[in-house]
Amino acid sequence: MTITAKINKWNPDKKIISQAAEILRSGGLVAFPTETVYGLGADALNSEAVRKIYLAKGRPSDNPLILHVHSIAQAESLVFMNEISRKLAKIFWPGPLTFVLPAREIIPLRTRGGLETAAVRMPDNPVALALIEAANIPIAAPSANLSGRPSPTDSESVYQDMNGRIDFILDGGSTEVGIESTVIDVSNPEKILMLRPGGMSREIIEEAINTKLQVPDNTSKKRSPGTRYKHYSPAIPVKILRRDKAVNIPDNSGFMGVNNFDGLKFAEKIIFDDINNYAHGLFSGFRKFERENLDYIFVEWPEDNTGLAEGLRDRILRAACDYV
Ligand code: TXA
Ligand code: MG
């Protein structure tokens, strides 16, 4: 049985936090809110506990996890940080930015998918930070969805995928960003790689380091195994809608985007105010249309380059990958 406990994000109840921390310390699984999506947490230093994450999600074991920390000092105890990662951490943590860096031996191989590097991030959510502090261990946490499904942005979505598979859900309401953190490989300061676009835009990071983020070549792509898999897909087909392309819309189709495609007839539409709101609502929109038994989901292809457009395009492409 999975227990859900509501918790006030701005004033997390200490008793509930210590209950969740105790479960983590004894090797159990706890889902918790971050500012991006809900995470499925386990003691990152306990290989047996981490194994349970892979089992609960049905996740391939060579896809490494992010270690969530409550301070830069805690990150230093796990990976070899360099000047550039320290600088970025000081500016952007807590926040939706994950660093891949050389791992210290203390991190079990299972947590890092057998790699010599590991991913670390400090989430910008009071519940998450309180939990990591109370547990007094780094928390390994992928998104709290079944592997391949849309990431959960509220506790109901976590429950839908994970009921009976995990011990505890901390329900801290909806997440703010809606897509996962941006993952960058900073192990070589001369060549910083964008491994996964996400909740922090490329422009903001590039401005802070005054250089361009590089695209991984084929070898380094292998080093970010998560980007190889199909992801984020609801149980109904997702199709991409471009402004300049004529399409037939089947009956019983849903639409999400920022523009109102007036000429096209949809059973239901979700129109967002801007790109960041679109990113915020994409995964919950997928799950909403799924519940409503629509036959297709059409998503507008975001053309511009503002805000979270790059991360949004990445999620859309992978959700729709069977159909493009
Ligand atoms: O916002 C987020 O990042 C959320 C919340 C819960 O923090 N977490 C999340 O975790 O999205 P997950 O497991 O769904 O994605 C982690 C990504 C994967 O693409 C994985 O391959 C990559 O980080 N990653 C982890 N460790 C890595 C490493 N050592 N080298 C390269 N990529 C790594
Ligand atoms: Mg995920």
CA of 140 to the centre of ligand 1 (A): 10
Closest ligand 1 atom to the C-alpha of 179?
A: 1
Closest CA to 295 of 247, 243, 238: 238
> Cβ(96)–Cβ(181) under 8 Å?
yes
User: For residue 134, what are the CA distances in angstroms to 15, 18, 78, 245?
Assistant: 10, 6, 18, 53
Contact 162, 31 (CB under 8 A): yes
Rounded Cα–Cα distance for residues 89 and 66 (Å) = 15
Q: How far apart are the first and last CA of the chain?
A: 39
Burial of 43-56, coded b for 16+ CB within 10 Å and e otherwise, reads: bbbbeebbbbbbeb
pLDDT at 62: 87
Query: How many whole angstroms from its chain centre is CA 241?
Result: 24
Within the chain, all domains assigned CATH 3.90.870.10 are found at 3-221
Mean pLDDT confidence for 98-116: 97
Q: Ligand 1 mean position to 121 CA, how many Å?
A: 9
Q: Say how many Å lie between the CA of residue 61 and the centre of ligand 2.
A: 13
Cα–Cα dist 69/41, whole Å: 12
For a ligand 1 pocket test, name from 143, 193, 222 the mutation site with the most ligand atoms within 8 angstroms of its C-beta. 143
Q: What is the largest CA-CA distance in the chain?
A: 59
| Residue 274 banded pLDDT, cuts 50, 70, 90 | very high
Compute the distance from residue 248 Cα to the ligand 1 centre, in Å.
37
Runs of H (alpha helix) within the chain: 14-25, 47-57, 72-76, 83-92, 126-135, 155-162, 202-209, 218-222, 275-291, 309-319
Q: Is 252 left (phi over 0), alpha (psi -120 to 50) or beta?
A: left
In this predicted structure, what is the pLDDT of residue 91? 98
Share of the chain above pLDDT 70, in %: 95
Count of C-beta atoms within a 10 Å radius of residue 145: 26
- Residue among 68, 112, 224 whose CB has most ligand 1 atoms within 8 A, to mutate: 224
Nearest residue to 232 via CA among 322, 142, 315: 315
Atom of ligand 1 lying closest to residue 59 CA: 13
The pair of three-digit structure tokens given for residue 179, joined into one six-digit string: 């897509």
The pLDDT, as a whole number, for residue 103 is 98
The set of protein residues with a Cβ atom below 6 angstroms from ligand 1 is 34, 36-37, 39, 63-66, 96, 98, 100, 112, 115, 117-119, 123, 141-143, 180-181, 183, 195-196, 223-227
Do the beta carbons of residue 49 and residue 42 sit within 8 Å? yes
Q: 202-240: per-residue pLDDT in tens?
A: 999 999 999 999 988 866 555 555 555 567 889 999 999
Return the structure tokens found at 254.
């849903």
Q: Residues 127-148: pLDDT tens digits?
A: 999 999 999 999 999 999 999 9
3-221: CATH topology: DHBP synthase (3.90.870)
Residues in the chain: 324
Give the model confidence (pLDDT) of 243-256 as tens digits: 888 889 999 999 99
Q: Is 275 helix (H, G, I), strand (E, B) or coil?
A: helix
Which residue's alpha carbon is nearest to atom 7 within ligand 1?
39
Model confidence at 324: pLDDT above 60: no
Within the chain, how many helices (H) and strands (E) appear?
10, 14
Q: Which two tokens stand for residue 238?
A: 């997702």
pLDDT digits (tens, 9 = 90+) for 57-95: 999 888 999 999 999 999 999 999 999 999 999 999 999
Q: What are phi and psi of 264, to 5 degrees?
A: -105, 140
The residue contributing the CA closest to ligand 1 atom 15 is: 142
d(CA 222, CA 210): 27
116, 151, 183, best to mutate for ligand 1 pocket (most atoms within 8 Å of CB): 183
Per the model's pLDDT, the better-predicted residue between 227 and 199 turns out to be 199
Among 264, 107, 121, residue whose Cα is nearest residue 184? 121
Nearest atom of ligand 1 to the alpha carbon of 96: 1
Q: How far away, in angstroms, is 215 Cα from ligand 2 center? A: 20
Q: How many CB atoms lie within 10 A of CB 150?
A: 26
Which amino acid is residue 246, in one-letter code? A
